[in-house]
Homo-oligomer: A and B are copies of this chain.
Amino acid sequence: MRAAIIGYGGVGRALVQLLNDKKDYLNKEGFQIQVNYIIGRNGGVYNSEGIELKDFMEFGAGERDITKYPQGGNKEISFQKMLQNRDADVVIELTPTNIKTGEPGMTHIRRSLECGINVVTANKGPILLEYKELKAIAIKNKVQLGIGCTTGGALPSINAGIMDLAGSRILSIEGVLNGTVNFIINEIENTGTTYIEALNKAQLLGIAETDPALDVEGWDTAAKLIILTNVLMNEEKSLKDVSIEGITKITPEEVKNCLNKGYKYKLVGRAVKENGKTQMTVNLEKLDPAHPLYGVSGRNKAVRYVSDTLGDLTIIGGASGVIPAAASVLRDLININRGYKFSE
Interface residues of A, Cβ cutoff 8 Å to B: 18, 22, 25-26, 29-31, 154, 156, 159-160, 163-169, 289-290, 292, 294-295, 300, 309-319, 323-324, 326-328, 330-331, 333-335, 338-341, 344
CA distance A315 to B156 in the complex (A): 10
Instruction: Check B319 against A316 for contact (C-beta < 8 Å).
Output: no
Q: How far is the CA of A159 from the CA of B164 in the complex (A)?
A: 6
A26 to chain B: closest CB distance in Å?
7
Asked if residues B295 and A316 are in contact (CB atoms below 8 Å), the reply is no
Given A160-B164, A292-B316, are A324 and B338 also a contact pair (CB < 8 Å)?
Answer: no
Whether B344 lies near A338 (C-beta < 8 A) is yes
Are B289's CB and A289's CB within 8 A? yes
Min CB gap A5→B, angstroms? 16
Q: How far is the CB of A103 from chain B (nearest CB, A)?
A: 29
- Contact A324–B344 (Cβ < 8 Å): no
Please measure, in the bound complex, the distance between the C-alpha atom of A328 and the C-alpha atom of B165, giving whole angstroms: 8
Interchain Cβ contacts under 8 Å between A and B, 28 examples: A22-B167, A29-B167, A154-B310, A156-B165, A160-B160, A160-B164, A160-B315, A164-B331, A166-B330, A166-B331, A166-B335, A167-B327, A167-B330, A167-B333, A168-B327, A168-B331, A289-B289, A310-B331, A311-B317, A311-B319, A312-B316, A313-B316, A314-B315, A314-B316, A315-B316, A335-B340, A338-B344, A339-B339
Bound Cα distance from A138 to B26, whole angstroms:
21
Cross-chain contact B156 with A331 (CB below 8 angstroms): no
Chain B residues with CB below 8 A from A292, complex form = 295, 316
Could you say which of B312, B319, B323, B326 contacts A317, with CB atoms under 8 Å apart?
A: B312
Min CB gap A296→B, angstroms: 9
Given A313-B315, A318-B311, are A163 and B159 neighbors across the interface (CB < 8 Å)? yes
Residue of B nearest to A324 (CB): B311
User: Which chain B residues border A317 with CB–CB below 8 Å?
Assistant: 310-314
Q: Which residues of B contact A316 (CB under 8 A)?
A: 292, 312-316
- Which of A26, A167, A331 has the most chain B CB atoms closer than 10 A to its own CB? A167
- A294 neighbours in B (Cβ, 8 Å): 295
Bound state CA distance, A41 and B30, in angstroms?
40
Once the chains bind, are B154 and A331 in contact (CB under 8 Å)? no
> Distance in Å from the Cβ of A16 to the closest Cβ of chain B?
14
The residue among A29, A159, A290, A309 with the most chain B CB atoms within 10 A of its own CB is A309
A166 to B154, CA, bound (A): 11
**Of B163, B324, B328, which is within 8 A of A163 by CB?**
B163
A41 to B159 alpha-carbon distance, docked (Å) = 38
Task: Please list the 8 inter-chain residue pairs (A to B) with the smallest Cβ-Cβ separation, ordered nearest first.
Answer: A311-B319, A156-B164, A339-B339, A309-B327, A313-B317, A166-B334, A167-B330, A314-B316
Chain B residues with Cβ below 8 Å from A318 are 311, 313
Beyond A167-B26, A331-B164, whether A324 also contacts B309 by CB under 8 A is: yes
Closest Cβ–Cβ distance, residue A295 to chain B (whole Å): 6
